[in-house]
Structure 1
Amino acid sequence: MAAIVLAFRRRQAVSGPAKSHIRLVVLMTAVVALLNLAHVVEVAIWAAAYWILGVGPESARPFYFALVNFTTLGYGDVLPAPGWELIGPLTAMNVILVLGWSTAAIFAVLSSQLPRAGVRH
């Protein structure tokens, strides 16, 4: 995210409010895309941990099981291995913090760029 913001700050010399709005849209799209990519990597890390520990159900792939927990969707079709019932809620607690941090990052980038785009907030 820092690299994206720096790249757009360097291009601040481009004039015209329409171009500023376009830059803002592109910047925010890039920020959200990078955060989504980061979340997919986080799901993969959880999946690897589940696979290594053997806590996922045999009927589901580790990535799917991690994604169900990561989205705090809850169990409908998959359950953890016996003795690991708390792994889902622990994953969900972690994810709530991560998604809150991501939301704060999106807001910080947006609020830092709105004045440059000529938008008052």
Structure 2
Amino acid sequence: MDNQMLAVSWDELFVGGGASAVNLVIHATLLAVIVRVVAALRHYRMLGPSVIQRTVVIYVAGLLLVMAHYLEVRVWAKTYEWVAAAPPDTPLVYFAFSNYTTLGYGDIIPVPAWRLLGPITALNGILLIGWSTALIYAVLRGTDDAKTAGPLSTEAAQEIKKDVKEAEEEVEREFKKT
């Protein structure tokens, strides 16, 4: 087999690995926030009947996950822009979404020097979507635990508020970098 066929662009791996690492930090941070928020919502008894409480918990978790994935797609779009990975006038958010979700219509082809970024984006997307799926499963499973959980202490509520604020600040800093 020709050595050129086996050649890998270190630039692509470095840039793709960097964008993936940023997205892993974003996702881990938001998952930690979601776990804390869901725990707080589960213990908050003023939400009414358990169906309403479960709906609120699932909705909040889902909304935060969608926001996380959108932010991660934006990181990829900014990465594509930074290295000029797509032809001029390419809608980069669309291109990033297509790769991140592994949909890949094939209507946009990356420039040859950056052709590995698409598969790296897809691998990152699969991992993070799978991670989100696992969290949704845990949230759905955990809604039954709310019946047996005790009330949330004032100290725990203050810690959750602090963690949420810190996570929001971290996400805002990361978003400003992109």
Q: TM-score, normalised by structure 2?
A: 0.59
Aligned to 1:7: 40
Amino acid aligned to 1:50: Y
SS in 2 for 1:107: helix
Paired residue total: 115
SS in 1 for 2:71: helix
1:69 aligns with 2:99: yes
Aligned to 1:87: 117
Aligned to 1:30: 60
**Deviations, residues 34-92 of structure 1 (Å, cap 9, x unaligned):** 10010000000001111001102224122111111111111421000122221111110
- The structure, 1 or 2, with the larger RCO (C-alpha pairs under 8 Å, 6+ apart) is 2
| Inter-CA distance 81–75: structure 2 relative to 1 (3 Å threshold) | farther
Residue number among 2, 9, 21 corresponding to 2:51 in the alignment? 21
Residue number among 137, 150, 155 corresponding to 1:107 in the alignment? 137
- Counterpart CA distance in 1 for 2:38 and 2:81 is 36
Amino acid aligned to 1:74: G
8 Å CA contact retained: 1:69, 1:89: yes
| Inter-CA distance 14–84: structure 2 relative to 1 (3 Å threshold) | closer
Aligned to 1:47: 77
- Counterpart CA distance in 1 for 2:133 and 2:47 is 28
Q: Which is further off, 6-15 or 75-84? A: 6-15
> Structure 1: which 5+ residue stretches go unaligned?
none
Aligned to 2:164: none
4+ residue stretches of structure 1 with deviation over 3 A? 12-15
Aligned to 2:87: 57
Q: CA deviation at 1:7?
A: 2.8
> Structure 2: which 5+ residue stretches go unaligned?
1-33, 149-178
8 Å CA contact retained: 1:21, 1:117: no
SS in 2 for 1:4: helix
- Counterpart CA distance in 2 for 1:111 and 1:105 is 10
Q: TM-score, normalised by structure 1?
A: 0.84
Structure with more of its chain in helix, by fraction: 2
Q: CA deviation at 1:12?
A: 3.3
**What percent identity do the matched residue pairs reach?**
41
SS in 1 for 2:75: helix
- Counterpart CA distance in 2 for 1:20 and 1:85 is 50
